[in-house]
Amino acid sequence: MDTMAGLLDGPKARGAFMMKTVLNPPWSVRIEDRAPVSLVTMVHGDAWVAPDHARPYLLRPGDVALLRGPDAYTISDRAGTPVQILVGPDQRCSTVADGKDITESTALGVRTWGEAGRAGAAVMLSGTYQAPGEIGRRLLAALPVLLVRPAGAGAGAGAGDNPLVRMLADEIGKDEVGQGVVLDRLLDLLLVDVLRAWLAAPGAGAPGWCGAQADPVVGPALRLLHEQPAAAWTVASLAGSVGVSRAGLARRFRQVVGEPPMAYLAGWRVSLAADLLREPDTTVETAARRVGYSGAFALSAAFKRIRGVSPQRFRKGGGEGSGGEPVADSGEGETVVLGG
C-alpha cells in the first residue's frame, strides 16, 4: 500500500453534516461546533473565514478551505461584520442577540439553510466530519488551522470549473435513495484533493515524515508495515526485508519519521484497531488479531499506552476524546494557502 494512501484513506465520512447556506449581506456566522474537520467552499459571493488562532483569509468562489478543529471560527461577508448567528456543538443555530433557536425557522429545503436569496446573496457549501476515521488522525493532527486551496491552484479558475465543487453543489440539495452516502464520498474526495495538494506543495508546511515514502530506506520499510501490519515484525526482520542493517534502518527511520520503527508500527496497529472498533460487530479480540496482537489483553495494553484509554472506553465514547495524540502538531496557529 502507498504509505500516504493509507493515511489519506483514514477520513471516511459517515453521515457527515452537509449544508448549503444562503445569506444576504451583511452577515456573520460564528461556528463553535468543535468538529475535528470542516470543509467550506463558496459558490456565489466572497467570504472572510477567520479562525480564532490563525490569520483570516478571503474565500472566492471555488476556493476550498479546510478548517482543523476543535477551535472555533467565524465566516462573514466582510472583516469586522458583527456576529449574528452562532452554530453550536449539536449543529443548532441561534441568534447572538437573544439566543433564539432558528435552526428550523430558517430551513429553506433539503440541506439548505439561511435566508431567501436576493441579489448579492452569498451561497456557501460546508461539510463537517463528526468523527474522522482514526487511521487519518496522524495526518490530520499535522494540519495547519486553516488550509486553503484556491480555485486557480487546481484544475479550474472558479467554482464552475472545479468538478468536485460542482458535483457537491448539484447533489447537496437532493433527497434520493442513498443520498447521504453519495455526499459522504464527495466530501471525502474533496478533502483528499486538498490534502494531496498540500502534501505535494513545496514549502507548504507538511511534516517531514510525509515525504518518508520517497526515502530509499524508510520508504520500503513503511510500505511493508502498512501492507502487512499483522506480521511479526522486528527491527531486524524489517531491515532484512529492505536490504539494510538493523542499526542503519533504526537510525534512518528515527531521523526521517521521528520515532523508532516498532513505535511507529504500534501506533499504526492501534490506529487500525480504532477504526475496526467503530464497527459494532467487531470484538476487541478480533481487532487485536487482525492488526497483529496476540489477543485482547495485548491490544488493550497498547491501546491504553498510546491512546490513553482502553478499547472498551474508546468504543463507548464513539471514538471521541481519546488521548495519546495531540489535537494539533506542527501546524498549530498557521494559515496555509496553497500556491500563495
CATH number at residue 312: 1.10.10.60
State mean pLDDT over 311-338: 62
Q: Quick one: pLDDT at residue 299? A: 97
CATH number at residue 181: 2.60.120.280
Q: Quick one: pLDDT at residue 218? A: 94
- Residues 67 and 185 both lie in one domain: yes
60 has pLDDT over 80? yes
Q: Quick one: pLDDT at residue 329? A: 40
- Residues 182 and 273 both lie in one domain: no
pLDDT band at 325 (very low <50, low <70, confident <90, very high): very low
67 has pLDDT over 50? yes
For residue 235, being part of any structural domain is answered with: yes
Decide if 67 contacts 51 (C-beta within 8 A).
yes
- Residues 11 and 153 both lie in one domain: yes
For residue 325, being part of any structural domain is answered with: no
pLDDT band at 105 (very low <50, low <70, confident <90, very high): confident
Q: Quick one: pLDDT at residue 114? A: 86
Query: For residues 332 and 339, what is the distance between their CA atoms, to the nearest angstrom?
Result: 20
- Residues 213 and 258 both lie in one domain: yes
24 has pLDDT over 80? yes
- Residues 150 and 227 both lie in one domain: no
Burial class (CB in 10 A: 0-12, 13-18, 19+), 325: middle
DSSP state string for 106-170: TEEETTEEE----TT-EEEEEEEESS--GGGHHHHHTS-SEEEE-GGGTT-SSGGG-HHHHHHHH
Q: Could you report the per-residue pLDDT of 266-275, keeping only the tens digit for each?
A: 999 998 898 8
- Residues 146 and 248 both lie in one domain: no
Secondary structure string (H, E, C) spanning 260-297: CHHHHHHHHHHHHHHHHCCCCCCCHHHHHHHHCCCCHH
For residue 182, being part of any structural domain is answered with: yes
State mean pLDDT over 56-70: 93
What lies within 8 Å, CB to CB, of 116 at 6+ separation is 22, 108
Q: Quick one: pLDDT at residue 333? A: 59
Q: Could you report the per-residue pLDDT of 71-92, keeping only the tens digit for each?
A: 899 999 999 999 999 999 888 8
Query: For residues 196 and 201, what is the distance between their CA atoms, to the nearest angstrom?
Result: 9
Residue, of 257 and 13, whose pLDDT is higher: 257
Q: Quick one: pLDDT at residue 196? A: 86
- Residues 12 and 63 both lie in one domain: yes
For residue 337, being part of any structural domain is answered with: no
- Residues 224 and 176 both lie in one domain: no
State mean pLDDT over 37-46: 93
For residue 322, being part of any structural domain is answered with: no
Hey, how many other C-beta atoms are within 10 angstroms of the C-beta on 8? 18
Q: What angle do CA 302, 308, 312 make, to 5 degrees?
A: 75
- Residues 95 and 159 both lie in one domain: yes
Cell of 55: 490569520
Residue, of 157 and 169, whose pLDDT is higher: 169
Q: Quick one: pLDDT at residue 63? A: 94
Q: Could you report the per-residue pLDDT of 290-308, keeping only the tens digit for each?
A: 999 999 999 999 999 998 9
217 has pLDDT over 50? yes
- Residues 148 and 260 both lie in one domain: no
Q: Which domain holds residue 186?
A: 3-200
332 has pLDDT over 80? no
Rounded to the nearest angstrom, the gap between the alpha carbon of residue 14 and the centroid of all alpha carbons in its chain is 13
Residues present in the chain in total: 340
Query: For residues 50 and 52, what is the distance between their CA atoms, to the nearest angstrom?
Result: 6
7 has pLDDT over 70? no
Query: For residues 262 and 266, what is the distance between their CA atoms, to the nearest angstrom?
Result: 6
Q: Quick one: pLDDT at residue 286? A: 96
Q: Quick one: pLDDT at residue 119? A: 72
For residue 52, being part of any structural domain is answered with: yes
Q: For 24, which DSSP code?
A: P
Q: Quick one: pLDDT at residue 262? A: 97
Q: What angle do CA 88, 89, 90 make, to 5 degrees?
A: 95
For residue 333, being part of any structural domain is answered with: no
Residue, of 182 and 316, whose pLDDT is higher: 182
Please name the amino acid found at residue 27.
Answer: W
Site of grid cell 520499510: 221
- Residues 171 and 233 both lie in one domain: no
For residue 331, being part of any structural domain is answered with: no
Is pTM beyond 0.85? Reply is no
Decide if 270 contacts 303 (C-beta within 8 A).
yes
Q: What's the structural domain count of the chain?
A: 2
Residue finishing a domain among 200, 228, 262: 200
322 has pLDDT over 80? no
Query: How does the average pLDDT of the chain come out, rounded?
Result: 85
326 has pLDDT over 60? no
pLDDT band at 11 (very low <50, low <70, confident <90, very high): low
Task: Give the whole-number percent of the chain exceeding pLDDT 70.
Answer: 86
Lowest-confidence pick of 72-86, 194-208, 254-268, 270-284 = 194-208
Hey, how many other C-beta atoms are within 10 angstroms of the C-beta on 60? 18
